[in-house]
Structure 1
Amino acid sequence: MASATTQTADHFRGEDFATLLDETLGRDSGFDGSVVRGRIVRLTDDYAIVDVGLKSEGRVALREFAPAGAKPEVQPGDVVELYVERYEDRDGSIVLSREKARREEAWTSLEKAFEANQRVNGTIYGRVKGGFTVDLGGAMAFLPGSQVDIRPVRDVGPLMGMPQPFQILKMDRARGNIVVSRRAVLEETRAEQRSELIQGLTEGMILDGVVKNITDYGAFVDLGGVDGLLHVTDIAWKRINHPSEALQIGQPVRVQVIRFNPDTQRISLGMKQLEADPWENVALKYPPGARFSGRVTNITDYGAFVELEPGVEGLVHVSEMSWTKKNVHPGKIVATSQEVDVMVLDVDSAKRRISLGLKQVQRNPWEQFAEEHKVGSTVEGEIRNITEFGLFIGLSADIDGMVHM
């Protein structure tokens, strides 16, 4: 009896216990780190027990079959693909992962897309230093901030959680690194749109666009792959000193193609052309001799411009401003944005010019003085100026008389 026991002990000393255990459990190291198909046998509170065709059953955490807080979408009898992580030495069961299986599947698919230079679909789900994380169907990728859009994006919120295409820039399976770009996809799409737009572009065409940039002389409008210039004079019929008075960056606008040069691909746009021309029938609306109220929009050395309605301005020449004030700058008689009453003196619809008079809506003080003071009558006044040839006497607020020496 002792001899038999000794022989058994000697037998186990000559063998590697781990090897014997592997043989007992049916471990095949070729399965480690691989993806296998298995059938779910039963469910416990935390795990799904799976038959993967080995001598031992495996287990997968139920949370890997459903989003956080949701009910696992799996039932006994379902066939799923799983990643073999390891064997547990204690009871010989196999630890499996559905999440890593999805990741392996995704990596294989992504590598094919990367080699073929094809786009892949993904979802931006998190923010990290320098950019964002993207879920590519189970594989995680990094989206640099500079690769989110063609132009800087102030709010990425609307893009979060929304499936969209990406271009893989780099990938290293050994390190588990993938870098993607949304900007590359947009630039490619933009180039395609630009080509289509240029081919079908004609003068007079009405297009929708977005204000891309604003300068002193106008605004550049993105028409979807190509930019056009909206000059400040073509924004509105009324006077606009700077485009920012009527437009903002990012504002959607509807414009008309005024001019298009196919050689240089320069596009001139207009907004006011889509509105009725206020100068139509202006001669009937503003006949000579009629009085109107307007707003002073601009003052120059030679007069002041008065807006009669949006898009229609007339000029009050300096000589038509006052009956009595001569050689005085218009800015000393009227101010910008001041409401004034004017009389229409002349209308030239072809040249879009209206001549206005400011003094004509007031009574000529010289005529009034002549009616009130006959020749030979005595008047009193204050000496306002003394010269070598006489005295200037103020006879009223606006009239001076001269007494010769």
Structure 2
Amino acid sequence: MERPHDAYEAMSMREIIEQMDAERLSSADPTRRGPRKGDIVEGTITSIDRDGILIDIGTKIEGDVAASELAALLGGENPPKIGESVLAYVLTGENPEGRVLLSLQRGQEERAWRRMEISAREGTILNVPVTEINRGGLVVMAEGIRGFVPVSQIASVRAGGAEESIEERLKPLIGQRIAVKVVEVQPRRGRLVLSERLASAELRAARRSEILATLNEGETRRGKVTSLTDFGAFVDVGGADGLVHLSEMSWQRVGKPSDVVSVGDEVDVVILGIDRERQKISLSMRRAQPEPWTLAAQMHAPGDIVTGTISRLTAFGAFAQLDDGIEGLIHISEMTEERINNPRQAVTEGERRRMRILRIEPERRRLGLSLRGVPPDDQDAPSIGGYVGGNGTTIGELLGNWTMPPLDDESSGSR
């Protein structure tokens, strides 16, 4: 009786292999479907050498990684390792020997897209490098995938002048890493859109509670102006924004926040209040500076000629703000040598004038001023003794007897 293997003795090696493959395929499960071109398969790297990379994908013979990818894979930042679980893209299905040709690079790309989809669902924050800019925004690399951050979703773009293009403002971001969240992911279209604003807002919210716990009312902090509104400025004090109300921006009267600060300015602020439940912080810029009235007696004395700006007019006179920030009253009787019925007959709001200090009361925050007898800038002021009021009295007599007219709080001249 002929032995089973005797049938192979007269066959060439190639014929033997083909015969064995045929027998293997005929005895295999007819429902079995091998890897086909375009499939994404999971596997484990079993061998890495100069000849190639082998991956066990569950077939009888390990799959081969395309030779064209070896240099990039082995010379990259994160080269593959034996025992590592990977995804691979099937370039060609099983050949007669049962071997499959794989692309590990396209498999890595597929894994990255899957991670982007998970990140979009879970709302995780990614840290990605900026590789390019254009007028529409930033191009970033997220796990090997090119992603786009539109200008409207960029939080770290600096303020620029009217002549400066958006590209010039974005250029400093090239090479930097930014925190982003995935807002749209479409693998088939190769579309990945991200937002730095959403990530920044979430990170700030997470840090805000921690920052609030470290702040104490009354302490002075260094901060950066982040935005301006009609009613004040918001200042970042280490990860949490607080509001400096318009009335707390300066000891001087402020018309609008932009008269005092610009976005990006670093300023000292005093913490006025902390509402931890509502996570709100009230700040003051002016209280971080010496109050002008505390230095007024050292800087000014009755009889001094000073320069100030007419800040507002009233029925009984005009208020003038000196260059050091204190505000005083020019009574209507001290505006001109002649009698007038309306301050507008002598001065206008915003006008710069030289004036004489009649009386200064720092403890009451009152300053009496006079325009009478004060020469223009190009003339020398008369001596104190040479100043004669409308009733024939000298300034010395006037200062000895003069008292501030009775005023209510609004017209007290205090600031």
TM-score after normalising by structure 1: 0.63
Change (3 A) 1:35 1:176: farther
What is the distance in 1 between the residues matched to 2:109 and 2:213?
44
The residue type paired with residue 361 of structure 2 is D
Show CA shifts across 1:48-72 (max 9, x none). Answer: 8656676988421577459xxxxx5
Matched residue, 1:240 = 254
Return the structure number with greater relative CO, CA threshold 8 A, min gap 6.
Answer: 2
Once the 2 structures are TM-superposed, how far is the Cα of residue 316 of structure 1 from its aligned partner? 1.6
Work out which of the residue numbers 27, 30, 36 in structure 1 matches 2:35: 30
Distance 1:266 1:56 in 2: 60
Which residue number corresponds to residue 144 of structure 2?
138
Deviation at 1:274, TM superposition (A): 1.3
Q: CA deviation at 1:189?
A: 1.5
Deviation at 1:307, TM superposition (A): 3.9
Contact 1:279 1:352 in 2 (8 A): yes
Report what 1:291 is aligned to. 304
- 1:194·1:224 contact (CA, 8 Å) conserved in 2? no
Instruction: Kindly state the Cα deviation for residue 127 of structure 1 after the two structures are TM-superposed.
Output: 5.6
Query: Which residue of structure 2 lines up, in the alignment, with residue 187 of structure 1?
Result: 201
Please state if 1:317 is matched with 2:331.
Answer: yes
SS of residue in 2 equivalent to 1:287: coil
- How has the CA–CA distance of structure 1 residues 113 and 216 changed in structure 2, closer, same or farther, with 3 Å as cutoff? closer
Q: Which residue of structure 1 aligns with residue 411 of structure 2?
A: none
> Does structure 2 retain, via aligned residues, the 8 Å contact 1:60–1:98?
no
Instruction: Verify: 1:356 aligned to 2:369, yes or no.
Output: yes
Deviation per CA, 1:233-284, whole angstroms, max 9, x where unpaired? 3222233332211112343333111234556655432112112222125235
SS in 2 for 1:122: strand
Question: What residue ranges of structure 1 are gaps of 5+ in the alignment?
Answer: 1-18, 43-47, 67-71, 369-405
Letter in 2 for 1:252: E
Deviation at 1:294, TM superposition (A): 1.3
Deviates more, 1:101-110 or 1:308-317: 101-110
Deviation at 1:347, TM superposition (A): 2.0
Query: What CA RMSD, in Å, does the superposition of the two structures yield over aligned residues?
Result: 4.7
Residue 100 of structure 1: aligned partner: 106
Matches for 1:1-400 after TM superposition, within 5 Å: 29-30=34-35, 32=37, 33=39, 34=41, 37=45, 42=50, 58-61=66-69, 64-65=72-73, 83-87=88-92, 97-110=103-116, 117-126=123-132, 132-149=138-155, 155-169=169-183, 171=185, 177-223=191-237, 226-261=240-275, 266-288=280-302, 290-301=303-314, 302-330=316-344, 332-333=346-347, 336-340=350-354, 342-361=355-374, 363-364=387-388
Judge conservation of contact 1:214–1:244 (CA < 8 Å) in 2. yes
Distance 1:132 1:55 in 2: 38
Find the structure with the greater CA-based Rg. 1
**Is the 2:273–2:283 contact (alpha carbons within 8 Å) kept by the matching residues of 1?**
yes
SS in 2 for 1:214: strand
Q: Which amino acid aligns with 2:107?
A: A
Q: How many residues align?
A: 334
Give secondary structure in 2 for the equivalent of 1:279: helix
Amino acid at match of 1:86: L
**Identity in percent:** 26
Q: Deviations over 1:110-129 (max 9, x none)?
A: 55555655433433434689
Residue 38 and residue 134 in structure 1: after superposition, are their counterparts in 2 closer, same or farther (change >3 A)? Answer: farther
Tell me which protein shows more strand as a share of its residues: 1
Q: Which runs of 5+ in 2 are unaligned?
A: 1-20, 26-32, 56-60, 160-165, 375-381, 393-415
What is the CA-CA distance between 1:354 and the residue it aligns to? Answer: 0.6
Q: 1:137 to 1:260 in 2, by over 3 A?
A: closer
- Scaled by the length of structure 2, what TM-score is found? 0.62
CA distance in 2, matches of 1:277, 1:138: 57
Can you list the C-alpha shifts for 1:63-107, whole angstroms capped at 9, x where unaligned?
7459xxxxx569xx99697845534999x9986545313213424
Q: Indicate conservation of the 8 Å contact 1:60/1:97, yes or no.
A: no
| Contact 1:84–1:94 (CA under 8 A) maintained in structure 2 | no
How far residue 320 of structure 1 moved from its aligned partner, in angstroms, is: 0.8
